[in-house]
Amino acid sequence: MSETTTEKKKVIFSAIQPSGTITLGNYLGALRNWVSLQDEYNCIYAVADLHAITVRQEPKAFRQNILEAYALLLACGIDPEKSPFFIQSHVHTHAELAWILNCYTQFGELSRMTQFKDKSAKHADNVNAGLFTYPSLMAADILLYQADMVPVGVDQKQHLELTRNIAERFNGIYGSTFKIPEPYIAEVGSKVMSLQEPTKKMSKSDENVNAWVAVLDKPDVIMKKFKRAVTDSEAVVRVGEGKDGINNLIGIMSTVTGKTADEIAVEFEGKGYGDFKVAVAEAVIEVLRPIQERFSDYIANKDYLVEQYHKGAEFALRLSQRTLTKAMKKIGYLVG
């Protein structure tokens, strides 16, 4: 994990909030790609705990969620020897650059963010300034590491576009300071839908617990949730219009097994949805089993986790301080 190698390949940055639950959708849509990207790119990953406090957190649970998120990402396959992996609040440059970028982000731009509108409606009793300026902190996360690309889902595209606008505005005033990041959108498994409302994205905030599967759900729980998955009345396993539930299950099966939708349709020809749901559940259980086993090992070894997140934070601080210092000098701060 040397700083010289970080400059040879293209740099990818990504972070995930320590929500307390990482879903199958998070894993198949994002985290699995994070793991595969490590061989081709210089990846920098973080647990975005600064972002998490736009919603009130219970301190003891929050602390545990941060540690568990770190352990679970290691269990999913993040290799700290290949990819600097740290906890965001341990690297003070994130908050510092976020303040600077706040001053180069327009009020109108922030007010147009759909996530701000959605979360304000959801947490009407706590529409705080952090929720409003959240995208400026996200921009700081990315720009600090001169990232070439950022893996984004559809719901984060708007934030990345704003990051690009902020970087271009700053560069336009002061000259080349930040690299303009591009989106990295994976072609496969990018969107896993709700098992109960398959027109909606799978989300742990869904009040119906049968709508989503957590990466750490026990096998019997996973099986029950898939057995209860909403389908249609045709009872034919194939991709088709008006078959959102089955389309979703086929997509999940395809992502976890590598089989195409056509191959799955042939395999289950003449079989009912009951057999298919059990098969999807079994395939998911087998994919998650080694992750769950590794997670148990990591979470039981706190000394190792502390060693790794300290090492990741030290590396990230050295790397990000270069960008922060450069930006501050450009503005006119007395640096050094």
What is the rounded distance in angstroms from the CA atom of residue 245 to the CA atom of residue 84? 38
Report the candidate in 90, 92, 74 with the shortest Cα–Cα distance to residue 305: 74
If you search the block for the tokens 């790397």, which residue do you land on?
319
For helices 302-331 and 157-174, give the axis angle rounded to 10 degrees: 40
Distance separating alpha carbons of residues 148 and 168, to the nearest angstrom:
14
Task: Please pick, among 201, 225, 243, 277, the residue that the annotation labels catalytic.
Answer: 201
Active site residue 119: yes
122 is catalytic: no
Long-range contacts of 126-135 (CB under 8 A, 24+ apart): 126/55, 126/56, 128/54, 130/53, 130/54, 131/54, 133/98, 133/102, 133/105, 134/51, 134/54, 135/105, 135/109, 135/110, 135/159, 135/162, 135/163
Q: Is 204 a catalytic residue?
A: yes
In three-state secondary structure terms, 226 is helix
Collapsed DSSP state (helix, strand, coil) of residue 151: strand
Instruction: From the candidates 82, 191, 204, 259, give the one annotated as an active-site residue.
Output: 204
Q: Please give the positions annotated as active site.
A: 119, 201, 204
